[in-house]
Chain A
């Protein structure tokens, strides 16, 4: 026999289940749309930077692999993915000829180019609420483990782990990318592995290098 209490309980559970699926149906496509939007923006940045491949997608994939193996939680991974896709968004606010330059950028132009980390952070922080640490990760994606990066010269563990991962994934992806001002640095995986190991403790967090090596040093290579 169903008591009034049980009836109320069943109705309540049914209602909560309905609410859950309804909400999930509404939320998931929105999240997909959000990710698609980020993909679109990132592809524009890649094109503007003169990459010969979907660089932002590649670093997001790499960052995701390293982040997962490092034990980041779901929230951290979500921020990591978004920041990895949008890491160079500040470059959209710089003069186009600077990014299309066929010479290696130096001097005042280099200083100007380096402001993209600050511009990206500032723009996202002021224009989009609720991004939490994503703007900070964008600010710090060019920091180095040895404290000689930019813009804040953070050193070692002062740099949030997600920013350290993006920095490493960005560099690995750039190592085998062709740019307007230079040809591909390394075509073979083993050369990239050697270079990453050489930069462990200088540019990269040794712990992340170790993790990257343990997961099979993933990198997408292209032949010259």
Chain B
């Protein structure tokens, strides 16, 4: 299920309740969703449940590590002159189904090249740029469009895009990679829980599965999918089981305001009242005495709305 985190809207709503300067995300669905917040005066604590997501957050949002150096660009973004031997390529099972042979040559070469990058922060930028390139190739392939951009050209383009994205960034951001059992409540003005209401595999999830397989050097997507499912299991709650709300209440203990955000279709207000808000109100009643539900129209014909539920 699609999830749209509208940070400016969230803060417009929160600022009517209290002044907030720190935000805690126990989980985040996608690194770039935090761009708006990371460019403002907020202290952010973000936990990525999956290791590759933590790496993306460090590479694209932190900014302390700068951009990919010119020296490394020249060394690691080379053009492959002749096709490589496909029988040696660990991702050959993806050939013609997901990527063409030239793209697979580069995925093989880039993975080997990444291990030769000495500085870890530089290596993470390189990995994260390959993540963006995989996204670009997969989405074009899904629409049967052959991009005119050569792989080394797109790598150069993405590295420049990364450079401009982190330019002028002075984010106060703490990034962790813990399971939700290990994670402790942070002292913050606001804790945000981005909710995904169904476990359908979105294109972003598919991309993460591909990337994790690629980074681990194999082409077994089912293995990658299973590992991801195991890592995310703790975050799956059944709204009908009140014990499942324990995770929310535990992680919201030290926050002045708790926010739940989700996107979905328009349902009768009584559904939200009875199925979601009341059980949560009950779960949070010792911590928060008020709640407020806000919604915004996104697409009238498909009945799509974005929701924001605040406890304070």
Contacts and interface: CB of A to CB of B under 8 A. Distances in A.
Q: Do A and B come from one complex?
A: yes
Interface of A: 72-73, 75-76, 79, 107, 111, 118, 122, 132-133, 136, 139, 145-148, 150-158, 160-162, 194, 197-198, 200-202, 206-207, 209-210
Contact of B145 (A111, A150, A194, A210): A210
B35 A153 contact: yes
B300 A210 contact: no
A194 B8 contact: no
Interface in B23-48: 30, 32-36, 39
25 contacts: A76-B300, A107-B168, A111-B39, A133-B297, A133-B298, A133-B299, A133-B300, A148-B32, A150-B35, A151-B7, A152-B6, A153-B36, A154-B4, A155-B204, A156-B139, A156-B204, A157-B202, A160-B299, A161-B299, A198-B147, A198-B148, A200-B140, A201-B135, A206-B142, A207-B143
A153 B32 contact: yes
B33 A152 contact: yes
A202 B3 CA distance: 20
Given A153-B32, A201-B145, A206 B139 contact: yes
Contact of A157 (B2, B6, B33, B34): B2
A148 B165 contact: yes
Contact of A210 (B144, B148, B161): B144
A67 to B, nearest CB: 12
B136 A146 contact: yes
A152 B135 contact: no
Contact of A151 (B36, B203, B304): B36
B298 A136 contact: yes
Nearest to A79: B300
A118 B9 CA distance: 9
In this complex, the member of A73, A122, A156 whose beta carbon has the largest number of chain B beta carbons within 10 angstroms is A156
Contact of A132 (B3, B168, B297): B297
Contacts of B34: 153
Interface in B126-143: 132, 135-137, 139-140, 142-143
Given A133-B299, A136-B298, A146-B135, A152 B143 contact: no
